[in-house]
Structure 1
């Protein structure tokens, strides 16, 4: 995939302007999902974090805006997006180690490291399960080429003992996620994300721990918007969600 020209890009503000993100005008454009994923990770200063499929670097940058002193690395299959992630790191003053690679062929500089946290926002749709996007970058970002099990296996290999995987996915992919964790990761928690009260969750965040032994936990859904329906051209995020999206606050997991 060739790189993006200046005319191909927009510069978008995230976290109330804390992050300026260059991303393609057409193709895969980051939304709120990577922001919510980054907010869910309890990283601490001095820890190492790896993102699988980092795109233009939004998730890593959101995490860096909330937690200082962490070491950040990302793996991205599409070279044009990997280049954008590197550029976005420089533009935002955040040190990112970004490698262009497939999950099945990680380079030595990543395979020789282990991390306290791995985060991932894999393609949401099984291959052939959705209408293919006309843009190749968007099609790759949305349509699964590598099975979820392979994402989870790669994450488990890169985690330190007691390290955590956090993954955001469509709710209907939970069986695949649980199957991928089987024999690799434990202490699984699932946090559903529902648009409004009374709506079924569309997305979930899965947390799993290497060598974890705690029982499975399915938490009550996090509700994103106020009200029961969308009636005006406004987002109506609940205050705690607005704090995440606009100020970089953490997404607190239930105790």
Structure 2
């Protein structure tokens, strides 16, 4: 993509700077909130599936200074852009991007059972129920493929995670049943964190965290309210989105 097809943007109050497609899939609060939910010890190996231009993995690296992060991206133009963003943030020593399809059994440079944390922001929209974006890149990022539904994403997360590794994803609340079914008997210690736009409203998003191979029971947390009555973010959420703070309740 030529540079006039990109914008240059700042995230986390300028801690992260990156180029994004002007008309394609762009940074969202969901990606930043997902990054803020990642818990990893110093020296941990972390993997993001479907990393796009690198929004979430760059945010993880900005907050967790002593971890390495790999990203897997299907779209070659976004994988190339992610590599540029990694270099522009001087993070090539800790971050790397791989181009490939998460449904593949083997991807060069990514070994199964080798990551301490695996996270993802899968495509949200069922093409049978939602209008698909006319922009091909955005459609790929947002529309769930028939042969790559949330169950395939969870299966890939489990494939690359070490035993007892953490697994984290954000998705629409209506898909929680599918997510829990995909984790059944393969992961436990599941924590469901509803994200409420305002008190009294249904939660449109959930963050789900789990541990590969655990038998511990599921916990439904109180969740997080995001907005004040005037529409602005609550201070603790603003700290996540603009200062790189960890997500409350993680």
TM tier, smaller? over 0.9
The residue that corresponds to 2:36 in the other structure is 39
Q: Secondary structure at the match of 1:65?
A: helix
Shift, 1:83, TM fit: 0.7
Aligned counterparts, 1:172-187, within 5 A: 172-187=174-189
CA distance in 2, matches of 1:107, 1:215: 33
Residues 71/113 of structure 1: CA separation in 2 closer, same or farther (3 Å cut)? farther
The residue that corresponds to 1:128 in the other structure is 128
Structure 1 counterpart of 2:79, from 77, 82, 85: 82
Cα pair 1:36 1:245 within 8 Å, conserved: yes
Residues 83/113 of structure 1: CA separation in 2 closer, same or farther (3 Å cut)? farther
1:22-67 CA-to-partner distances (Å, cap 9, x unmatched) read 1011011111111100101111220000000001001000011101
Gaps of 5+ in 1: none
Shift, 1:108, TM fit: 3.1
Matched, 1:98 2:110: no
Deviates more, 1:129-138 or 1:101-110: 101-110
The residue that corresponds to 2:249 in the other structure is 253
Structure 2 counterpart of 1:29, from 21, 26, 41: 26
CA distance in 2, matches of 1:161, 1:253: 23
Cα pair 2:113 2:159 within 8 Å, conserved: no
Aligned counterparts, 1:153-232, within 5 A: 153-227=155-229
Shift, 1:148, TM fit: 0.9
Equivalent residue pairs, number: 245
CA distance in 1, matches of 2:78, 2:108: 21
CA distance in 2, matches of 1:22, 1:132: 24
1:81-123 CA-to-partner distances (Å, cap 9, x unmatched) read 1111111000011122211111111413103561110010000
1:208-241 CA-to-partner distances (Å, cap 9, x unmatched) read 10121211111112000111xx5xxxx5110000
The residue that corresponds to 1:7 in the other structure is 4
The residue that corresponds to 2:15 in the other structure is 18
CA distance in 2, matches of 1:56, 1:156: 23
CA distance in 2, matches of 1:104, 1:240: 37
4+ long deviations beyond 3 Å = none
Cα pair 2:112 2:161 within 8 Å, conserved: no
Gaps of 5+ in 2: none
CA distance in 2, matches of 1:92, 1:57: 11
Shift, 1:252, TM fit: 2.4
